[in-house]
Amino acid sequence: MVRYTSSILLASLAATSVWAASSPPSCSTSSQCPEEYPCCSQYGQCGTGAYCLGGCDPISSYSLDSCVGEPVCQSKTYKWDSLDSAALNTKYLGNASEYDWVYSGYPKLDDGNLLLTMPKNTVGTLFANNHYVWYGKISGKVKSSRGAGVVTAFILLSDVKDEIDFEWIGADLANVQTNYYWQGVLNYNNGDKDAVNGSDTFDDWHEYEIDWKEDAITWSVDGQVKRTLTKESTWNETAKRYQYPQSPSRMQLSLWPAGQASNAPGTIEWAGGEIDWDSQDIKDKGYYYATFSDITVECYDAPNGTVSNGNKSYMFTNKDGLQQSVQITNNDTVLASFGATGLDMDLGASDSSSSGTNGTVPENQGGSGNVPGSSSSSSSTTSGSSSTSSGFSQGSSTDTSGAPSQNERVMRGSFFAALVAVVVLVAL
């Protein structure tokens, strides 16, 4: 009997580790997470703890309250005298008052500036703000990275994958790219490219600003408006909706190897070619790098008519993911452990080991949100939302989770990406 029990135990242990070694449940807008791993991370994997924090997609999660509330907007200028307000993603449990930022990778301080670095053969750095902006103006002084295949990003990304971008392609230092997405729906007409004055975006500081209002977005460089997108212009007559970024979004800074050889051909092409891991910057410094000086966030008022029951966090009340479904609540944003979720935020409060530094966290694979040339969008739900799969991975070097290997994910992403790339080539 004992033997029998233990063999069942062994068998179930084996099954568990097989599960852990292959993949956690994945999720999309048409396939929500199970109750025991209720939170759908930004990258479409189900889990608890960090999976329920920034990036947790309420539409693809078990229920709308599986994800923790999104900390409300905070007007502030960020300076870089220390990294005390930044937490590694394996330590952060949702206290945005304690940590303004959460990161993976290799941020550094350099003479009062923030360097995002990408050492040889790594996936770079992702530096995300923990306060959501629900309309507002973000501006930053930036020197981009350089080199083929290296992409620097300064973006706003929502948990339902609305997105507003500035992106610098390291092979084209004369321009900055602007882009936007509504709920992750891929549209190759959304992107644009603007010339930046001066010698180049690597050598010169420029101030980049995204002014996000309810009725229009402007992208400016050094105080000059380069691009305007009106909400009006995003009307989809078929679906009777504005495909305009409209949900609370986190500011994200990142540096990533879009041109790494394992990525989708479309992504590598967009990034200006394959990355050179023996470039001058790698030889001289040991890494590629992008430099950020002061970053300022100015919050605007919530839209007229917004239901407000508090002032701590934004929550979605409807799976359509639209502006009118966002409420301001007093829901807390801090989990007690990496086993806790929005459904049971106090779980593991007494168990100190589970709130330590070794929780499983989503492997970041998309510091830049939706990726040109590598994403597949399949409109599979009535709300018109789509799931996206990313063709590259961006993970913390210390990640020891049972998530699928990066190669496995890259393969999966690349398959779609290759398809998309072919379609795009044909369309061209």
Ligand X SMILES: *[C@@H]1O[C@H](CO)[C@@H](O)[C@H](O)[C@H]1NC(C)=O
Q: How far is the CB of 219 from ligand X (least distance, A)?
A: 14
| Rounded-to-integer distance, Cα 99 and Cα 82, Å | 12
Q: Which of residues 355-374 bind ligand X (CB under 6 A)?
A: 356-358
- Is residue 77 close enough to count as binding ligand X by CB under 6 A? no
Write each residue from 311 to 340 as x if it is in contact with ligand X (CB under 6 A), else as -, in one continuous string: x---x-----------x-x-x--x------
* Interaction pattern, residues 239-258, with ligand X; x per rule: CB under 6 A: x---x---------------
163 is catalytic: yes
- Total residue length of the chain: 428
Among 3, 238, 426, 428, binds ligand X (CB under 6 A): 238
Query: Which one-letter DSSP state was computed for residue 213?
Result: -
Q: Which amino acid is at 300?
A: Y
Q: In the annotation, is 35 catalytic?
A: no
SS3 18: helix
Q: Does 214 bind ligand X (CB under 6 A)?
A: yes
Spot the catalytic one: 167, 209, 269, 363. Answer: 167
In single-letter form, the type of residue at position 211 comes to D
Report the nearest approach of ligand X to the CB of residue 266 (Å).
19
Tell me if residue 106 falls in helix, strand or coil.
Answer: strand
CA separation for the pair 307, 59 (Å, rounded): 19
Residues 6+ apart with CB under 8 A from 376: 186, 388, 389, 416, 417, 419, 420
Q: Which CB, 116 or 420, lies closer to ligand X?
A: 420
Candidates 90-98, 114-122, 135-143, 167-175; binding stretch for ligand X (CB under 6 A): 90-98
What is the distance in angstroms between the CA of the first residue and the CA of the last residue of the chain? Answer: 68
CA distances from residue 209 to 131, 156, 354 in whole angstroms, order as listed: 18, 11, 40
Q: What is the smallest separation between the CB atom of 210 and ligand X, expressed in angstroms?
A: 17
Residues from 120 through 179 that contact ligand X (CB under 6 A): none
If you write DSSP's letter for every residue of 346-371 in order, what string do you get?
TTTSS-GGGGSS----PPP--TTSS-
Dist CA 270 CA 375 (whole Å):
12
- Report the alpha-carbon distance of residue 17 to residue 220 in Å, rounded: 50
> What's at 86, amino acid-wise?
A
Q: Is 385 in the site for ligand X (CB under 6 A)?
A: no
Q: Assess 308 for contact with ligand X (CB under 6 A).
A: no
What's the closest the beta carbon of residue 256 comes to ligand X, in angstroms?
26
Site for ligand X contains 384 (CB under 6 A): yes
> What minimum distance in Å lies between the beta carbon of 93 and ligand X?
8
- Work out how close the CB of 47 gets to ligand X at its nearest, in angstroms, rounded to a whole number: 15
Cβ distance to ligand X smaller for residue 242 or 289: 242
Q: Which residue has the tokens 């007494």?
A: 350
Report the DSSP beta bridge partners of residue 126: 104, 254
Among 163, 209, 269, 363, which one carries the catalytic annotation?
A: 163
Contact set with ligand X (CB under 6 A): 65, 95, 97-98, 185, 187, 197, 214, 222, 224, 236, 238-239, 243, 304, 309, 311, 315, 327, 329, 331, 334, 353, 356-358, 379, 384
